[in-house]
Amino acid sequence: MKERKFKRVASMLIAIVTIVATLAIPQQTVTVKAASSPYFIGEKHIAVYEKGGTEYSNWIVLSIMNCTKKSEIKSLKSSNKNVKVEAKDGYVVATYPNKALSTTITCTVKKKKLSTKLTVKKYQNPVKTFKIGSKNNASLFKYNSYYYEGKTCKNQKFTVAANSGWKIMSVNIDTGSKKISKYFSYGKYASSYSTKMSLTKSYASIGVGLYNAKEERSQYVYYYVRN
């Protein structure tokens, strides 16, 4: 079951990691690599653990450029034995426990030794306001980044505002009949954002991506409708 779950969401997470790496890291810190040389996307990664987290939620994808096969990843190790690592086709999956920690993950790809640092931090609620109509739902994200018991609504104003230390990178709304997306450029991340919207069907959703510059980490919150 775990294998199927990884395969189902891996491509989505790889895209998210790539987008976050592009948006969140100042351009002057990015090192250009040789086109054919393998390397981890990002020399360091930050993951979070949430209340009630398990091996099915406490994991992160570490993508490797110029690597497409599991068999190319050799001598894969984590310096912290509490972090389990597993090679996949072009990436590594790291699974971590419900506690703050750090580890260095190393491997060899095409005879080149690769290394990346993973830091695990406790989840923080990044939103001060998550308002649909007149109701502020920010408390739904006090301990977890997702809420699956949302209600349908029609022609309501949605307002999200970031908590102290956080800025809004992106807002994605699937109303059930159309999609509304807003992306902010690095250096121009927003403190708040509002739009008029409806949530018309089960599994209509709102996703907000936020970034904490001091901690150099991003975090997402998700609101799903379930009738």
Q: What pLDDT is recorded for position 36?
A: 85
CATH top-level class for 127-225?
mainly beta
Structure tokens at 6: 């990884």
Is residue 120 within 8 Å of 44, Cβ to Cβ? no
- For 134-160, what is the mean pLDDT? 96
pLDDT band at 5 (very low <50, low <70, confident <90, very high): very low
Same fold, 2-122 and 127-225: yes
Q: What pLDDT is recorded for position 27?
A: 37
Residues in the chain: 227
**Starting from the edge strand earliest in sequence, which strands make up the sheet with 39-40, in order?**
39-40, 59-65, 91-95, 84-88
- Between 54 and 16, residue with greater pLDDT: 54
Locate tokens 């992306």: which residue? 183
Locate tokens 């990664």: which residue? 45
pLDDT at residue 223 tops 60: yes
2-122 CATH fold? Immunoglobulin-like (2.60.40)
Percent of the chain with pLDDT over 90: 80
pLDDT band at 166 (very low <50, low <70, confident <90, very high): very high
- For 24-45, what is the mean pLDDT? 68
pLDDT band at 70 (very low <50, low <70, confident <90, very high): very high
Q: How far apart are the first and last CA of the chain?
A: 27
Q: What pLDDT is recorded for position 35?
A: 59
Q: Which of 29, 203, 212, 45 is nearest to 114 (CA)?
A: 45
Q: What pLDDT is recorded for position 227?
A: 76
Query: What is the rounded distance in angstroms from the CA atom of residue 82 to the CA atom of residue 103?
Result: 9
pLDDT at residue 18 tops 90: no
Q: What pLDDT is recorded for position 169?
A: 98
Query: What is the rounded distance in angstroms from the CA atom of residue 120 to the CA atom of residue 102?
Result: 6
Q: Which of 138, 168, 155 is nearest to 196 (CA)?
A: 155
Q: Which of 31-45, 67-81, 199-213 has the lowest mean pLDDT?
A: 31-45
- For 10-17, what is the mean pLDDT? 42
Amino acid at 170: S
54: helix, strand or coil: coil
**Domain-by-domain residue ranges, the chain?**
2-122, 127-225
pLDDT band at 41 (very low <50, low <70, confident <90, very high): very high
